[in-house]
Amino acid sequence: MIIAVAFFAIMNLMVKMLPHLPAVEIIFFRSVVSFVISYVVLKAKDINVWGNNVPILMLRGAAGAIALSMYFITLQAIPLASAVTIQYLSPIFTSIIGIWFVKEKVRPLQWVFFVIAFLGTVVIQGFDTRISLLYGGLGLMSAMLSGLAYNCVRKLSTTDHPLVVIFYFPLITIPLAGAYLFFDWVTPIGWDWFYLLMVGITTQIAQLFMTKAYQAEDLSKVSSITYIGIIFALGIGYVFFKETFNIMSYLGMLIVLVGVILNIGYKQRLERVEN
């Protein structure tokens, strides 16, 4: 998961370098790279590319595609660390959706932690004029759909190879994004091609290690490692884009992380007691 977080940070940087291209176009190129790599590796390993649990694979692909589109839009429009912090609400949504999807138990105290985390996003949005209600809402929707996608990954852990799970993302995304770009295409120029290629490669590596981590271990335990990504986001935002924040924005980020990490720690403690 640490490897996944590092490569996701590089991906964020590459996306942020392409503010003039539609987010869907970036995702299209990212999906083409992922499709080719996944297909070649699956064929080399003689693994059935269509998988076993097709309905859940398709749901994971669709949820992931929409979530990533919204996330890329927020990456382009608001400060990097803010976009990443809002996305960190996905484990909260993972737990909530998991109540129905994988029969995960949520205790009353966890709902307190959920509220704390959501209050942090209110502070971030309310005290940073660079974040509109629209982009804050898109970030929340992205986190929610990511939570659904993570539950799909967990459900697929006993039925399908990690690369098959990843393969369904471009399989669903390419035709959807291609249809959209028929009406809103912007031709990449110069270094754009390098950044687009790097988005695809870094995301593919990150997705592979993330999928392996989620299939091998409990969701809450794996999720806790992702929060080192905020350090990458703050550093990259400052070095490459001169992004700084007021004290209330930093406080909002801290509140989000506290709420999410308290939830993860509480779940781990419950599991140790039950076992």
pLDDT grade for 129, boundaries at 50, 70 and 90:
confident
Q: What is the pLDDT of residue 183?
A: 87
How far apart (Å, rounded) are the C-alpha atoms in residues 165 and 207?
Answer: 10
List the structure tokens of 67: 């979530």
Average of pLDDT values for 169-192?
A: 91
Percent of the chain whose pLDDT exceeds 90: 35
Are 162 and 208 a contacting pair, CB within 8 Å? yes
List the structure tokens of 109: 């105290």
Q: What is the pLDDT of residue 71?
A: 92
SS3 244: coil
How far apart (Å, rounded) are the C-alpha atoms in residues 173 and 178?
Answer: 8
pLDDT digits (tens, 9 = 90+) for 265-275: 887 787 777 66
Average of pLDDT values for 9-26?
A: 92
31-52 core/surface letters (b: 16 or more CB in 10 A; e: else): bbbbbebbeebbeeeeeeeebe
Of the candidates 70, 72, 210, 63, the one whose C-alpha atom is nearest the C-alpha of residue 140 is 70
Residue spans of the domains in the chain: they are 2-274
pLDDT mean across residues, the chain? 87
Average of pLDDT values for 29-53?
A: 89
Q: What is the pLDDT of residue 186?
A: 92
Amino acid identity for residue 265 in this structure: G
Least confident of 2-11, 68-77, 104-113: 104-113
Are 35 and 234 a contacting pair, CB within 8 Å? no
Q: What is the pLDDT of residue 14?
A: 94
SS3 153: helix
How far apart (Å, rounded) are the C-alpha atoms in residues 4 and 207?
Answer: 7
Whether residue 43 has pLDDT greater than 80: yes
Average of pLDDT values for 174-200?
A: 91
pLDDT digits (tens, 9 = 90+) for 53-103: 999 999 999 999 899 899 999 999 989 999 989 988 888 898 889 888 878
Whether residue 232 has pLDDT greater than 80: yes
Whether residue 223 has pLDDT greater than 70: no
